[in-house]
């Protein structure tokens, strides 16, 4: 049973500036919750109890969000606003959450390497801080189940268009069963003539702790950064990995369009605003 997860959230978020200048992009809301809360809840719903969030300068508000706010709670109690009070208290108790800083923004691989001591010698889950996945079952739980089944490191995958393959990565895959694929190689940000397939990793993986030794010996890759994909490619080639085409829908909160999509799609299902938003979209659509 996988109990530990890490959430790298130390990126610069340059694609959503100026929104992400003083506010971490992981704190951008989807209706009424910051993106990172959806991610922590996904991990908790998959049975994960200990979460390390990798932050950097200016991301202290993430720590505040998962902490008690004594003044706010006292005020809500005084006003008898028990529903919101209970929700805030629930958020502050979601999991054992730890924080570490990535001192220099040297890439996702370097961010993951900061978790070496926290993880120790067990398999662990990685949930990228700007990838929110909404579904009936927690996506990371589907990956953890696959880890138990195959005993190999797992990546969450989806088929994407060429436009995104060159921005993300490309996997060499062969179908195993249902939504599971054997992954024997991968390349970060390939040119189109270098791609293996249109399957890319989207925001989730379950890795064996051997990844840390590999990362320590991986040269800087695309963009002059230490790329997690380059280290995972070593495992894929040597031992093989398994790709799970998870069932939920993923929203890229590091991207302007992804933020809007998430807000609209979550909004139309949100009990408080569903009706109002549906009506509004219908009226608006007639004018488009």
Which residues are at the interface with ligand UTP (CB under 6 A)?
8-15, 54, 102, 105-108, 110-111, 128-130, 254
Q: Report in angstroms how near the CB of residue 123 gets to ligand UTP at its nearest.
A: 20
From the CB of 96, what's the least distance to ligand UTP, in Å?
A: 20
Beta carbons of 236 and 186 less than 8 angstroms apart: yes
Q: Which is nearer to ligand UTP, 105 or 198 (CB)?
A: 105
Closer CB to ligand UTP, 30 or 85, in the complex: 30
Minimum CB–partner distance for residue 214 and ligand UTP (Å): 17
Using CA atoms, how far apart are residues 6 and 123, in angstroms rounded to an integer? Answer: 11
Q: Give the nearer residue to ligand UTP in terms of CB position, either 128 or 251.
A: 128
Integer CA distances (angstroms), 51 to 2, 124, 134, 150, 232, in order:
11, 10, 19, 24, 21
| Closest CB to ligand UTP among residues 226, 244 | 226
Cβ proximity to ligand UTP, 85 vs 262, nearer residue: 262
Q: Which is nearer to ligand UTP, 80 or 224 (CB)?
A: 224
Residue in 225, 267, 25 with CA at minimum distance from that of residue 129: 25
Q: CB of residue 111 vs ligand UTP: minimum separation in angstroms?
A: 3
> Which residue's Cβ lies closest to ligand UTP?
11
Q: Which is nearer to ligand UTP, 10 or 187 (CB)?
A: 10
DSSP symbols for the chain = ---EEEEE-----GGGTTTTTTS-GGG-EETTEEHHHHHHHHHHHTT--EEEEEE-TT-HHHHHHTS--HHHHHHHHHHT-HHHHHHHHHHTTSSEEEEEE-SS---HHHHHHTTHHHHTTS-EEEE-TTEEEE-SS-HHHHHHHHHHHH-S-EEEEEE--HHHHTTSEEEEEEEEETTEEEEEEEEES--GGG-S-SEEEEEEEEE-THHHHHHHTPPP-GGGS--HHHHHHHHHHHT-EEEE--SSEEEETTSHHHHHHHHHHHHTT-TTTHHHHHHHHHHHHHT-
Least distance from C-beta 11 to ligand UTP, angstroms? 2
The residue (of 20 and 153) whose beta carbon lies closer to ligand UTP is 20
Q: Least distance to ligand UTP from the beta carbon of 85, Å? A: 31
As measured in angstroms, the least distance from the Cβ of 274 to ligand UTP is 29
Closest approach of Cβ 255 to ligand UTP, in Å?
8
């Amino acid at each position: 049973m996988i109990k530990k997860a890490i959430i790298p959230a130390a990126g610069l978020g340059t694609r959503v500036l100026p929104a992400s200048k003083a506010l971490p992009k992981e704190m951008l809301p989807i209706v009424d919750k910051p993106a990172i809360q959806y991610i922590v809840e996904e991990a908790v719903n998959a049975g994960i109890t200990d979460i390390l969030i990798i932050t950097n300068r200016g991301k202290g508000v993430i720590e505040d969000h998962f902490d008690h706010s004594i003044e706010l709670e006292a005020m809500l109690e005084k006003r008898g606003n028990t529903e919101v009070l209970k929700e805030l208290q629930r958020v502050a108790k979601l999991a054992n959450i730890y924080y570490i800083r990535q001192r220099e923004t040297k890439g996702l691989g370097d961010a993951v390497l900061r978790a070496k001591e926290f993880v120790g010698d067990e398999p662990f889950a990685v949930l990228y801080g700007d990838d929110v996945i909404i579904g009936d079952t927690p996506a990371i739980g589907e990956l953890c189940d696959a880890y138990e089944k195959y005993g190999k490191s797992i990546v969450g995958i989806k088929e994407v268009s060429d436009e995104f393959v060159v921005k993300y990565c490309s996997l060499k895959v062969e179908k195993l069963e249902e939504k599971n694929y054997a992954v024997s190689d991968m390349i970060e940000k390939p040119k189109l003539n270098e791609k293996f397939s249109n399957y890319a990793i989207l925001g989730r993986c379950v890795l064996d702790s051997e990844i840390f030794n590999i990362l320590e010996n991986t040269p800087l890759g695309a963009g002059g950064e230490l790329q997690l994909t380059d280290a995972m490619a070593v495992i894929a080639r040597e031992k093989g990995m398994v790709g799970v085409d998870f069932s939920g829908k993923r929203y890229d909160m590091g991207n302007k369009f992804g933020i809007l999509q998430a807000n609209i799609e979550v909004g139309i299902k949100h009990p408080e605003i569903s009706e109002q938003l549906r009506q509004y979209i219908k009226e608006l659509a007639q004018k488009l």
